[in-house]
Amino acid sequence: MRAVFVAAFVAFLISLFGTPIAIRYFTRLKADQPIRADGPQGHLGKKGTPTMGGVVFIFATLIAYTGGHIALTTLPDQQLRPSGPTATAVVLLGLFVFTGLLGFLDDYLKVAKRNSDGLNKRGKLIGQALIGAVFGAIALYVPAEKTGDAVVTTVASPKLSWVHDIDWLNITKIGAVVFFVFVVMSMSNAVNLTDGLDGLATGTSILVIGSYMAIAFWQYRHWCADPEYNANYCYDVRDPLEMALIAGAAVGALVGFLWWNTSPARIFMGDTGSMALGSLIAGLAVATKTVLLLPLMGLLFFIIVVTWIMQIGSYRTTGKRIFRMVPLQHHFELAGWSEVNIVVRFWIIAGIGMAASLGLFAADFLRVMSGSG
């Protein structure tokens, strides 16, 4: 756990003190977020706020991950600790960085064109699909490794999972890669839709990724690959300490970034940050084998996507709108709620989903252990 805390603390410091540098740099470049003319009128006051802030917490996470690995080398009992980057790190950080680069391209085009269009929808979806397919193939097809006397599974599984793999839901490796792509695309766009108010996506992501950090570390403490763990219930995942390390670094980086991103925001994460966070959350859900728990874990993201689909579907079929505006946070802006009220109340919704998910995860473990006792 010490290495996870080291990674989180290093990422926090880099992000906290690095974000003001990014604010000055992007302001000098006039890389400010274009404001939609048809959006809430209160957003016009945000004109001139720099975007692309996701670069800061992506960089902080990568540096802190390295620092966490240095901390690991100082600890005893190295048998179950990764000595270097693993396939899990390649998948999670690869998704994080490359979807971040895709988002950076989108942000750059918005700034260059001086409008909110950026990369067209087809280009975004194709880019997300390609990135998801590459890292999905790595997650499903990189050969399993041996740790001690136990075989460690691949990063992802051909079976769908709830709080662990569901044996009768085997969709084959090819089907699992397709599903992996779907989850990556869904979460990248879900976080992107949520990123519309100061601190909203950042705070929600802290809650969700922090929950996956806790799940991954719990799985490490009850890992099937640990020859000294003899309980009747263990987790057949790959590199759980690595997952906890990456998630902890991301949480620390986001907390540092939130200092500057909370209302009134001095910088926006942009598509650079929102796409990167969405894909990282998707990767963590798959790697911890809790993918069907994701809609509850990311409850706020799920609600915002579902209401967006409802609005688009209703307008295209009946010509009528269900909400004043989507994404949902803008509906409440037009209803007269203050930005801070919306953000805090939406964080509460996200916290409810997080608590319920962790409760279900823990309940399954306690159920099995109490039954075996």
Distances (CA, A) of 198 to 128, 154, 269, 341, 346: 25, 38, 10, 11, 12
Conformation bin of residue 176: beta by default, left when phi > 0, alpha when psi is -120 to 50: alpha
Report the alpha-carbon distance of residue 8 to residue 199 in Å, rounded.
19
Report the alpha-carbon distance of residue 218 to residue 226 in Å, rounded.
13
271 assigned to a ligand binding site:
yes
Q: Give the DSSP H/E element, type plus range, for residue 152.
A: strand 150-152
Q: Is 293 helix (H, G, I), strand (E, B) or coil?
A: helix
Residue type, 304: I
Cα 314 to chain center, whole Å? 29
The tokens for 112 are 């260059």
> In terms of C-beta distances under 8 Å and separation of at least 24 residues, what long-range contacts does 117-124 make, across chains too?
118/271
Which residue in this structure is represented by tokens 């995860």?
361
Report the alpha-carbon distance of residue 311 to residue 306 in Å, rounded.
9
Cite the annotated binding site by residue number: 192, 271
Cite the annotated binding site for Mg(2+) by residue number: 192, 271
